[in-house]
Chains A and B, each alone.
Chain A
Amino acid sequence: MRISTRGRYSLEALLYLCLLPQGESASTRAIAAGTGISDGYLEQLFIPLKRDGIVRGIRGPQGGYLPGRTPERITVGEVLRSVEGSLEPVACLSDETCPAEATCPTRSLWSRIAETIAECVDSISLDDLATAYRLQGSGEAQI
């Protein structure tokens, strides 16, 4: 039950963007240098993320990418769904054609797990991540 590389890299790239001074953008080359993710892969990930308004691109020689909204208003869940699709642990939860839907005893198990995952990722914003990052940095500086 894994989050794919797409999801993991997207969160790292977005965390990088959220740590930039407000209003500043970064080129995929700069993000690649800061995260270790190839710029080609970043371009691929930014297609769905742009479509969903999670990142915004600025054209031109000084162009680049920045968060599409304030980090408080972007959740980890939105980012993951944008690049991974559904986060449900089994396909039948979103497929309403299963004949056993009403009586299937295992469905309630899968939907409990799905709710747990959704509640968790929807309660974490990119601002929470950025705040944790700054604390992590200061903690390390103290050591």
Chain B
Amino acid sequence: MRISTRGRYGVRFLVDLAQSAGETHVPLAAIAERQRISARYLEHVAVILRRMGYVRSIKGASGGYALAREPADIPIGDVLRALEGDILVVDDPLPGETEGPLARCVRSVVYDRLNRRIADIVDRLTLADIVGGEGTDRPPMYYI
């Protein structure tokens, strides 16, 4: 039950951009080197995030990537869904597919509940929570 490489690298890419907020645009190669991720792979992730409107890019010698929104306006749940396709623990039944009563019971008691809990967590978090708020000395991401 794993988050894919694409999901993990995408979040690291956004965190890196949030931490480099002082610079106007960060070259992809610099992020790839800092994060030790292949630049080619990162480019692929960056395209998805740009399409979703989370990052913008400028071409050219001083070009690179920057966040297109404030970190507090980048919800982690949406980022993961964009990168992963979805964040469900099992596929929905196919249209026309009928599940047996045992499978239906496990779905409603276990999978639906797990999907809701995971969504609750990631939908409450933004990139700002992960990077850590300014001027606060509390550890990031603790709430009740």
A interface residue numbers (CB < 8 A to B)? 1-4, 8, 11-12, 15-16, 34-36, 76, 84, 87-91, 105-106, 108-110, 112-113, 116-117, 119-121, 124, 128-129, 132-133, 136-137, 140
Contacts and interface: CB of A to CB of B under 8 A. Distances in A.
A120 B114 contact: yes
B2 A12 contact: no
Interface stretch (B22-30, B43-51, B58-66, B83-91): B83-91
B106 A11 contact: yes
Given A76-B110, A90-B3, A133-B101, A2 B89 contact: yes
B109 to A, nearest CB: 5
Given A3-B1, A113-B122, A121-B110, A129 B105 contact: yes
A49 B87 CA distance: 27
A40 B8 CA distance: 36
A92 to B, nearest CB: 9
B88 to A, nearest CB: 7
A84 B76 CA distance: 26
A12 B141 CA distance: 36
B106 A90 contact: no
Contacts of A137: 101
Interface in B25-77: 76
Contacts of A124: 109-110, 113
Contacts of B76: 109
A2 B106 contact: no
Contact of A117 (B11, B102, B114): B114
Given A132-B108, A133-B101, A109 B11 contact: yes
A3 B101 contact: no
A15 B103 CA distance: 9
B125 A3 contact: no
B82 interface: no
